[in-house]
Amino acid sequence: MSMKEQYTPEFAQAFRGYDREQVDGYVAWLRDVAIQAEDRVGRAESALAQCRRELASSPTTAGISERLAAMLQLATEEAADIRQRAQRDSDAPHDATADPRESELNNSDRAGGRGSDANGVPSFDEAEGAQRKRQYEDGADLVSGID
C-alpha cells in the first residue's frame, strides 16, 4: 500500500511527551517526502520499462538517429546478401564455379607432369625450348603455361 492510500495517523494526547503540533508537522512533512519518493520511483520504473522495450525491439538501433539506423539496416541487409551468395557459391558444383583460366593451365605443357618435375622445378628439353623461343619471337600469345 502506498503512502497516498494510507490515512494520516492520529496520535493520542498524553500529558507528558512531545509537542503535538511539532509531531503532527513532522509527520505531515515526512508523509509528503515519502509520497514524492514513491512518485519518482514510479516514473523511474516506467522509464526503465520503456527502455527495456526499446532495447528488446531493436537492440542495434536503440538511441541512434534515424539516418544512422537506416544506414545500419542497409549494411545489415547487404551483409546478409553477401553471405547468401557465398553460401550459394560454396554449395554449387565445382565445374560451375571453376576458373576458366584453369582449363588453359590444364591444356598447357604443365598438364600431366610435362614441363616440370614433381617438386615444381621446370625441366627443359632443348628442342622444345627452341620451338617455344621461335613461337615467342613470332608473337604467340601463349607459348606455355609458365609464360
Q: What are the residue boundaries of the structural domains of the chain, listed by start?
A: 1-57, 64-98, 104-137
Which 3 state secondary structure label does DSSP give 9? coil
Of the candidates 145, 142, 118, 143, which has an alpha carbon nearest to the alpha carbon of residue 132?
143
Distance (Å) of CA 67 to CA 54, 58, 77, 81 = 17, 15, 15, 21
pLDDT of residue 32: 92
pLDDT of residue 147: 47
**CA–CA separation, 111 vs 102, rounded Å?**
11
Tell whether pTM > 0.85.
no
Q: Is the pLDDT of residue 62 over 50?
A: yes
Of the candidates 141, 109, 137, 107, which has an alpha carbon nearest to the alpha carbon of residue 122?
109
Q: What is the mean pLDDT of residues 89-93?
A: 78
Q: Is the pLDDT of residue 48 over 90?
A: yes
pLDDT of residue 71: 87
**CA–CA separation, 80 vs 50, rounded Å?**
30
Under a CB-based contact definition with an 8 Å cutoff, are residues 94 and 135 in contact? no
Average pLDDT across the chain, whole number: 75
Q: Is the pLDDT of residue 125 over 90?
A: no
2 compared with 39, residue with greater pLDDT? 39
**CA–CA separation, 118 vs 146, rounded Å?**
15
Q: Compute, in degrees rounded to 10, the torsion defined by CA atoms 116, 117, 122, 124.
A: -90
Q: How confident is the model at residue 21 (pLDDT cuts 50, 70, 90)?
A: confident
pLDDT of residue 75: 92
Q: How confident is the model at residue 43 (pLDDT cuts 50, 70, 90)?
A: very high
Distance of CA 5 to the CA centre of its chain: 49
Which 3 state secondary structure label does DSSP give 124? coil
